[in-house]
């Protein structure tokens, strides 16, 4: 893992946006396949990417995108659907074709069949070149709650009570919060060629420590990313506060800044 400990959200957004920009430029006219996360963690990076599109000409015109998850029962037009969120916070402000931004159908008549079909669509697109992730305070990524199989595929999942409580702030009534979601599995996510995960705040510190330095375990689903060969982790000082090797990660980044090594894909 490549660990970046940043001073604030703006620096973290620039680091994540740099990874996106490299992926887009490396793909060229072929077009990159992007995996997009929702929630608050990636929003600063999306804001920076919008700025680069508007002010520096960064183009997403040939890109495709797949969302990580969607609430079961919410139609695409619902204001709390992730289909709506990603457009409102990111894709409506760049030059990607809206039809190229694909999310699971939360209101599908057969959610189980929809999950399998979604996995197949990702494979048919050639797989994800770059997946952005956040992390929950209980270590979940996408909606892979603790106890999720490390090899799981896109499926219907029940949400943990802590996740439901975290998401309640987005709904008028607690009873309105969906309790199930369609989510890419841990196995699906790890098939992305590169992954960037971003987190901030002390409430994420325990999960980040297990992600980076803990044992690989279904108790902390994000720890399965240790099995992936190319993961960039971008965290602020608070989220990094439980990392025992934080000084080493800072030292490694300073060495890289002084003596950059070319990345071979």
pLDDT tens profile 126-147: 999 999 999 999 999 999 999 9
Local structure of residue 122 (DSSP, 8 states) = H
Of 89, 138, 144, 167, which residue is the catalytic one?
A: 138
Of 83, 84, 140, 210, which residue is the catalytic one?
A: 140
Query: Which pLDDT belongs to residue 265?
Result: 36
Please confirm, yes or no, whether 210 is among the known catalytic residues: no
CA–CA separation, 4 and 21 (whole Å) = 17
Query: Which pLDDT belongs to residue 177?
Result: 83
Please confirm, yes or no, whether 145 is among the known catalytic residues: yes
Query: Which pLDDT belongs to residue 200?
Result: 96
Is it the case that residue 264 has pLDDT exceeding 50? no
Q: pLDDT over 70 for what percent of the chain?
A: 98
| 186-214: b (≥16 Cβ within 10 Å) or e | bbbbbbbbbbbbbbbeeebbbbbbbbbbb
Of 119, 145, 166, 236, which residue is the catalytic one?
A: 145
What's the rounded mean pLDDT across residues 54-63?
Answer: 97
Of 69, 114, 166, 236, which residue is the catalytic one?
A: 69
The answer to whether 33 touches 65, Cβ cutoff 8 Å, is: yes
Query: Which pLDDT belongs to residue 263?
Result: 55
Q: Which fold has domain 2-258?
A: Rossmann fold (3.40.50)
Is it the case that residue 163 has pLDDT exceeding 60? yes
What's the rounded mean pLDDT across residues 181-192?
Answer: 97
Q: Quick one: pLDDT band at residue 39, thresholds 50, 70, 90? A: confident
Please confirm, yes or no, whether 140 is among the known catalytic residues: yes
* Mean pLDDT value across the chain: 94
């Amino acid at each position: 893992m490549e660990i970046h400990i940043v001073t604030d959200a703006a620096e973290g957004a620039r680091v994540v946006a740099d990874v996106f920009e490299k992926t887009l430029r490396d793909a060229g006219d072929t077009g990159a396949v992007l995996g997009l996360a929702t929630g608050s963690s990636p929003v600063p990076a999306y804001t920076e990417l919008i700025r680069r599109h508007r002010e520096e000409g960064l183009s997403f015109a040939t890109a495709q995108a797949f969302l990580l998850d969607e609430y079961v029962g919410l139609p695409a037009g619902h204001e709390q659907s992730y289909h709506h969120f990603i457009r409102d916070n990111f894709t409506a402000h760049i030059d990607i074709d809206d039809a190229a931004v694909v999310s699971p159908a939360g209101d599908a008549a057969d959610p189980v069949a929809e999950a399998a079909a979604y996995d197949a669509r990702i494979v048919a697109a050639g797989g994800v070149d770059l997946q952005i992730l956040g992390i929950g305070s209980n270590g979940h990524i996408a909606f892979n709650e603790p106890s999720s199989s490390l090899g799981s595929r896109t499926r219907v999942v029940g949400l943990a009570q802590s996740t439901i409580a975290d998401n309640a702030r987005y709904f008028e009534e607690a009873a309105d919060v969906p309790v199930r979601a369609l989510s890419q599995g841990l196995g699906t996510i790890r098939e992305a060629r590169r992954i960037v995960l971003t987190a901030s705040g002390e409430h994420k510190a325990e999960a980040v420590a297990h992600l980076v330095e803990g044992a690989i375990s279904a108790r902390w689903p994000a720890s399965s990313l240790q099995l992936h060969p190319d993961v960039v982790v971008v965290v602020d000082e608070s989220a990094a506060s439980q990392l025992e090797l934080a000084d080493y990660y800072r030292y490694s980044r300073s060495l890289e800044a002084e003596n950059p090594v070319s990345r071979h894909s």
